[in-house]
Chains A and B, each alone.
Chain A
Amino acid sequence: MGNNHDENHAHHITPLETYLKVAGALFALTFLTVIAHHFNNQLGVLAAPIAFLIATVKAVLVMLWFMHLKYDSVMNRVIFGAGFFFLALLLFFSGLDIWTRVAEFSTL
């Protein structure tokens, strides 16, 4: 049958301290976001990308350890990854249209 089996029956158990470390990292990154926010004026245009980057790192930590994707099958990782890919697609093509239109913005 399927592509991803023969995994042995004992599921992987993440050690307690790994969970605590990941949580610690998440707290730290949250503080980092706020600290970066206070230097928004100095960071200028980089402020948004930096905030987004930190959020992405946090998201990856959650996905890999809390959601156990690190020890999950390739198929499940592909499935979850597909969601982000297709979102990027939606943004890309909608954006392609909007930012190549002859601009005629409302006065609002």
Chain B
Amino acid sequence: MKIGKLMTSLIAAAVILTFGAANAADWKPSGPVNLQIGFGAGGETDTLGRVIASVMKEQTGWDVIAENKPGGGGVAMFSGISKAPADGLVIGLGVNMPIMINLVLRGDKLPFDLDSFDYLATVARAQLAIIAKKDAPFDDIKGLVAHSKANGGTAVAFDAKPQELILRAIDKQESAGLKLVSTKSSAEMLQFVLGGQVMASFSAGTHIPYVEKGDLKVLASANDGRHNYAPDTLSLKEQGYNLFVDPYFYFAGPAGLPDDAKAALVAALDSAIASEKVKTVVANALATEVDNLGSDGTKKMLVDGIGGVKVLFGK
């Protein structure tokens, strides 16, 4: 009797294994899934990657291992991914801006292009703002430009290439004489604004509690659209500068993933990103909402984004 039952379940298992393999929903990784993070330990991307890996593991039962592959803002990690076997066992989490900038500036030297990957999901879009102290004598970019002209140059901080290009473009358009101060992080920019070393800076979220408290104000959204916490502040585009950056956190795997593996990964990532845990982390660490564009949407975001970056670099 017992043996009979065992046989039945074994046969059932065998049937499921043989026939189920062709079905996307039943694809199982043949080993641990390596979730590579394109940045070092301790940043927003690292936090997102590790939490998503643990939720995926919980939801699918797969063995998902998060691993840091820092270097070149994700270029080193995606170089590795583009050469990895397309078996669904390696996926990467990166940020679009550094990848797109490197593709535009030195694409001939990169071992990959946009077609080297199968795109799986986006996690969220970071909200980039231009901020100033509450008592600064201006409330928008036009005011900042006027202040700079009147005072022989105003110091503004940035911490990434696209931000520098936006400032240069504004400076050129208005002949404002802005002094561009390069920094290493959002935190350093915030420190300089609060300490009065610069009058304005970019910021990707650390400023929000200060805005709530009333120490800082937002001059503009640097995204293509306004921010959820400051719906009345105009974007750069609305203020008459055709400039924006939309930094997305996204997942991709090597090109040529089998259809069932790709579908299973897309579904697993989608349900992980939609989970309460990931939503909370995105809200807490990035001060924004989860925003999964899906497989095709992610690819479209990158293809369109490359066009935008070319405009920024004047190429």
Whether A and B are associated in the same complex: the answer reads no
Query: B-side interface residues toward A, CB under 8 Å?
Result: none
